[in-house]
Amino acid sequence: MSKSDIKRQAILENAYRLFRAQGFDGTSMAHITSEVGGSKATLYSHFPSKEELFVECMMAALENYMSDTLKHLDASRNDPEAALRSFGTSVLNFICSPEQVEVRRLMIAEAARSGTGRLFFDKISALRSQIASFLNLCMASGLLRRDDPDLAADHLGALLEAEILEPLLLHVREAAPDEEEIALAARRAVAAFLRAYAPTAAPIRGTAGLDNHLRRLPPHEL
């Protein structure tokens, strides 16, 4: 790592800690500078605004985790069920950890106040595209039927999160679900997804027409 990378890493770590403890409004760039050391100019050379720094440090862990996990996905294997199940279990384990639930909650809470919602959404869309690329490969090799891979990625994501995430976000349960519970939820989600996207399943109506065009409009024009 270069000196600049080390600095950037230190900024991200300190900002992450401060934002989580004090929220977006309660954390100033000056405070982050004083924790990291160095000048405010250096801080701004790495991150042009507090909003961008906030989004960057909130998403960093998830981005790293997803890219590592996706590297291990192999669409050429003849067993997309096993690949997707292990992918789903792995991602669910991560996003259901107390720290990531807190990050997600903070992200939603601050999105309106600080105007960072759009920045978060762009990052989440980029992660979604990575999953869509994998699904696209599965479609190309005939393991899944041909359809809009972005839509398929939305459906897979929704099914994976369906059983577990909401009670965590709403603080209905304190404890993170254990591995067995997560594995079960992932297995059921992937089973439903694969049935729906099996090569023999009926194509989804409307994905090729006007609606598909609507889906591709920028999010604020929906």
Cα–Cα distances (Å) from 149 to 35, 66, 76, 140, in that order, read 44, 18, 17, 11
Q: By CB under 8 A, which span of 36-44, 78-86, 88-96, 152-160 interacts with another protein?
A: 152-160
Candidate residues 3, 71, 171, 216; the one interacting with another protein per rule CB under 8 A: 171
Please report whether residue 205 would count as binding another protein according to CB under 8 A.
yes
Please report whether residue 162 would count as binding another protein according to CB under 8 A.
yes
The residue count of the chain comes to 222
Q: By CB under 8 A, which span of 43-51, 58-66, 85-93, 170-178 interacts with another protein?
A: 170-178
Candidate residues 86, 97, 130, 207; the one interacting with another protein per rule CB under 8 A: 207
Min separation Cβ 32 and another protein, Å: 23
Q: Which two tokens stand for residue 203?
A: 């194509």
Number of residues that bind another protein (CB under 8 A): 48
Report the alpha-carbon angle 138-86-150, nearest 5: 40
Contacts to another protein by CB under 8 A: 105, 107-109, 111-113, 117-118, 120-121, 124, 151, 154-155, 157-159, 161-163, 166-167, 169-172, 188-189, 192-193, 195-198, 201-202, 204-207, 210-211, 214-215, 219-220, 222
